[in-house]
Amino acid sequence: MKKILLLCFIMMLCNSIQSQTVYYYYHEGEKISFTINTQYVLLSLSEPVIPEFIKNMPIKISELRSDMSERKQYQGQKRTSRYCAELQFNERLSEDQYFKLLAEIKQQQPDAIITPYVKYDNTEEKIGTSNFFYVKLRSEKDTTLLRKIAEKANCIIIEQDPFMPSWYVLNTTSKSERNAIESAAFFSETGWFLTAEPCLMTDLLQCATDPYFGNQWGLSNTGQFGTEIDIDIKVCDAWPFSTGSNVKVAIIDSGFDRYHPDLIANVFPESYDTSTGDTSIFYRNHGLNCAGIVGAVRNNNIGIAGVAPNCQLIAVSDYLGFPYPNAVQELASGINWAWQHGADVLSNSWSNIEYLNTTYIGDALSNATTLGRAGKGCVVACAAGNSDGGSVRYPALRQDVIAVGAADCNGQRASYSSIGTELDVVAPGTHIYTTASEDGYYYFTGTSAATPHVSGVAALILGANPDLTQSQVRLIIEFTAQKVGDYTYQIDPEHQNGAWNEEMGYGLVNAFSAVAYASSCVLNFINQTVTSMTPVMGCDDLNVQNVTVTNNASLILSAPGEITIDGPFEVQIGSTLGVQY
């Protein structure tokens, strides 16, 4: 009896420690292993119609796509296109449930090719697998061997790569016993070929692995909301050059949860509350929404990615509500505390017509833009206001700050966004997915959502070139903005940093162009003819000599040090010269 009980115990223990199904292939001799992602599968069909029994399952079904265009096929073989769709199960399944369900689909649809999705251990990244895999021959004479093994494995040779003739493209079929990952491993392990590998699919349009990054159209607009593709701030192109490292952004707002899991790694240790003079207080979600847009950690498998995902976030909390008897002084103290404690960028998603002509706050802003960053000045971004097409609100109407309006995902001005001569740029402001209380996330709308996008871009610029003055950063953001939407942008004397429009300012902020421009300063601007709007940014001192400005052009010279203009130098009638420090 004891032996029987012991045997039963051993069998139960073996079942309890049974490992997950592992797929693998070989890359340069190294074995690359995956586990199953039980939330997804790729379904390949011979006809472009999803069977009704699949439609009735508790799943999400992607659009059907042809798996190949009509093209010349290997040795004249006839191979018609198949049609693929990604199935996403509404609930995360166990492996037993997953493979049982795949078997049921195969039983009801025998011509289907069903390929599991995989993931690396300890991650949730979705890696798709299709019915394609690739084999590299040792020599051309091995084609006969490849053909025989493929036929025995019920695989089809699709083509010989015309650019790399040693590579061949193969397909599994509905009769194949192995999926594409298993087939690639099998062909490699025969030892008869140089290598073989499956076609692994990742979202090439996504530049972050955060699970909700696909909701962030403002950072990467792939048409995910049925919108115009590529209306975004081009941050994916900017991140290889700057992520905002060593740049501190003060979120002057209603406070934020400094322990939110998507922010905590980027939170600056010091904080301030404008009412108590002590550490910041988390009054409400508004500030937390803004903080996530600026600096949520990227590629941490949590939530979203911030515009400047490696910046430091400084919490400066203010009640921002009624009753608010000492509002002006408290906001001014928050601004002053921020620049005095090392903030490089001040993000202000608040505005109020009642603060118009408030010298108290104005003096604090002047301090930040002239004394901050050891005299280079803090970059200050302010919400233009949600006045439904009314005028820009204070303090965004000040010339030493960046007035930020809101655009939607089709590149149009959001209907609520303020307009007017003080408007500088627009940024994504409608349906913006960001951090919220209780470690959560939700959609946020308004010029309050647009402003932290610009603050994040300012952090990227300073991450690329920390020697820039705040006026240079403003110039770069304005000059590099994208002319989106159905608007007429024009040059006028009051807006010399490029073509401008009263509803869109200089356009939609462009992180990549701004970072690229910030990285290209000059020491000398010599023997030049300027025929269009041209900002020239000096690395330190700037030497200008033998320059002609013509054709109603505008030349703007900017440098953190001295600007020396030597003759000959000519600005023809109708053209302009501007100097910024």
Which pair of structure tokens corresponds to residue 531?
């025929």
Q: Is 262 designated active site?
A: no
Q: Is 318 designated active site?
A: no
Q: Is 346 helix (H, G, I), strand (E, B) or coil?
A: strand
Q: Residue for token digits 């091995």?
A: 142
Residue 378 near residue 346 (C-beta atoms within 8 A): yes
For 83, half-sphere exposure in the C-beta direction (CA atoms, 13 angstrom radius) is 12
Rg from Cα positions in the chain: 29
Packing angle, helices 447-464 and 470-479, rounded to 10: 110
Distance (Å, whole) CA 161 – CA 134: 10
Active-site residue among 210, 253, 344, 424?
253
Residue 425 near residue 378 (C-beta atoms within 8 A): no
Distance (Å, whole) CA 194 – CA 308: 43
Active-site residue among 220, 280, 351, 448?
448
Distance (Å, whole) CA 433 – CA 16: 40
Q: Where are the alpha helices (DSSP H) in 233-273?
A: 235-238
Going across the sheet that includes 272-273, the strands are 272-273, 312-317, 248-253, 345-348, 379-383, 402-407, 425-428
Q: Is 495 designated active site?
A: no
Each residue of 445-473: b (16+ CB within 10 Å) or e?
bbbbbbbbbbbbbbbbbbbbbeebbbbbb
Each residue of 274-287: b (16+ CB within 10 Å) or e?
bbeeeebbbbbbbb
Active-site residue among 260, 286, 453, 495?
286
Q: What are the catalytic residues?
A: 253, 286, 448
